[in-house]
Amino acid sequence: DAGVIQSPRHEVTEMGQEVTLRCKPISGHDYLFWYRQTMMRGLELLIYFNNNVPIDDSGMPEDRFSAKMPNASFSTLKIQPSEPRDSAVYFCASSHRQGGWETQYFGPGTRLLVL
């Protein structure tokens, strides 16, 4: 079974541009998470969905960030306009309750650099 798929793996853009990160969760998983990893703040949860519905977006830094999940197999995280401080690695993860466990499986991440 394929793991969580993220694209692009690397993104370099200029300040002010729109950035869209994409994620395909593991088939059958009903939770999807977006995390951001920086040296200063470590790994932090931005938002998560359950059955395509956003449940907790309290980690979204500001209105420049938005996330959607139009169906069970696809999600996007959009930054508009982007700023240099948005430079980070963005991870998508998915999970499904099995045997009493809900373990999050992570994608390879997207390394974003905003110049």
Partner 1 sequence: AQTVTQSQPEMSVQEAETVTLSCTYDTSESDYYLFWYKQPPSRQMILVIRQEAYKQQNATENRFSVNFQKAAKSFSLKISDSQLGDAAMYFCAYRSEGAQKLVFGQGTRLTINP
Question: Token pair of 22, please?
Answer: 């994409």
> CA distances (Å), 62 to each of 24, 39, 46, in order?
24, 19, 10
- Please state, in angstroms and rounded to a whole number, the distance separating the CA atoms of residues 82 and 55: 24
Minimum distance of partner 1 from residue 81's CB (angstroms): 26
CB nearer to partner 1: pick between 19 and 93: 93
Minimum distance of partner 1 from residue 71's CB (angstroms): 20
> CA distances (Å), 47 to each of 35, 61, 65, 92, in order?
7, 10, 10, 10
CB nearer to partner 1: pick between 10 and 85: 10
CB nearer to partner 1: pick between 74 and 106: 106
Minimum distance of partner 1 from residue 73's CB (angstroms): 19
Using CB under 8 A as the criterion, which residues of the chain lie in contact with partner 1 when the complex forms? Answer: 31, 33, 42-45, 48, 50, 55-56, 89, 91, 93, 95, 100-109, 111
CB nearer to partner 1: pick between 73 and 104: 104
> CA distances (Å), 96 to each of 19, 29, 36, 105, in order?
28, 5, 21, 9
